[in-house]
Amino acid sequence: MQEPTPLGENNRRCSICGAVLPGCTCSPHGLHHKGMSDAASGPALDPPEQEVEEALASLALSPTGIPAEALWYRAGLARERRRANGWRAAAAVALLAAGAAVIWRPKPTMVTVAHVVVVREQATPPAVAPAPPEAAAVDSDAAAPGNQIASASYLRLRDRVLQDGLASLPPAAAGRSDAAPEQRAWPLPNAAGAIESYPKPKYPFIQGG
């Protein structure tokens, strides 16, 4: 866009069309615009009015008296103040958001957490519910330390004897004389002591027989 220059400078312009006055062919200026319907156009200036206009335009304006350094200094201050205001606004918004979060934070609610408890198997057997007397007797025998293996083999042997008779006894236990006294099953080397060392059977028919 062409910007008209002030009339006080070298290139003065027509008051109507804005054309540079030395090159403007209309005399008086604006006469060629009379037929236009543009609102900017209007009655042309008379020569006396043009003369006054040009005389006024020839006057030199007094300087502003505003030092450019002061102007740019103030502008720099204003620009930096505007930036600082931006940071202040951001800090204020953040502060408000933090305050709102503290004020309107959600209340703690009861939360049911399902815990899975893993209990490792312990070395000692857990307590067993009360069993029948026979089972309790067996268990008490088995629970004796050091006699578990012997009790098991004795019980198996006993059950076999009770079921099949003495024939079910192993040959060595039946009286082989070359076997070591400790290895012979029957008769035991110190049968009285061994029988005493065995846990007492709880079966009533054994105790009775």
Residue selected from 27, 34, 71, 189 as contacting another protein according to rule CB under 8 A: 71
Burial class of 44 by CB neighbour count within 10 A (0 to 12, 13 to 18, 19+): buried
Determine if 99 is a binding residue for another protein (CB under 8 A).
no
Determine if 86 is a binding residue for another protein (CB under 8 A).
no
Determine if 39 is a binding residue for another protein (CB under 8 A).
yes
Determine if 103 is a binding residue for another protein (CB under 8 A).
no
Q: How far is the CB of 107 from another protein (least distance, A)?
A: 48
Minimal CA–CA distance to 28: which of 5, 48, 7?
48
Give 85 or 153: the residue with its C-beta nearer to another protein: 85
DSSP annotation of 21 reads G
Determine if 208 is a binding residue for another protein (CB under 8 A).
no
Rounded Cα–Cα distance for residues 193 and 209 (Å): 19
- With beta carbons less than 8 A apart as the criterion, state whether 188 and 195 touch: yes
Rounded Cα–Cα distance for residues 176 and 101 (Å): 94
Determine if 82 is a binding residue for another protein (CB under 8 A).
yes
Residue selected from 7, 155, 169, 185 as contacting another protein according to rule CB under 8 A: 7
x-marked contacts with another protein along 41-70 as a string, rule CB under 8 A: -xx-x--xx-xxxxxxxxxxxxxxxx-x-x
Q: How far is the CB of 31 from another protein (least distance, A)?
A: 15
Q: How far is the CB of 74 from another protein (least distance, A)?
A: 5
Determine if 74 is a binding residue for another protein (CB under 8 A).
yes
Rounded Cα–Cα distance for residues 206 and 209 (Å): 5
Determine if 40 is a binding residue for another protein (CB under 8 A).
yes
Of 76-84, 134-142, 148-156, 183-191, which segment contacts another protein by CB under 8 A?
A: 76-84
Label residue 26 left, alpha or beta by phi (over 0 means left) and psi (-120 to 50 means alpha). beta
Rounded Cα–Cα distance for residues 9 and 22 (Å): 13
Q: Characterize 142-163 residue by residue with b for buried, 16 or more Cβ atoms within 10 angstroms of its Cβ, and e for exposed.
A: eeeeeeeeebeebeebeeeeee
Give 24 or 138: the residue with its C-beta nearer to another protein: 24
Binding site for another protein (CB under 8 A): 1, 3-9, 13, 15-16, 18, 39-40, 42-43, 45, 48-49, 51-66, 68, 70-76, 78-79, 82
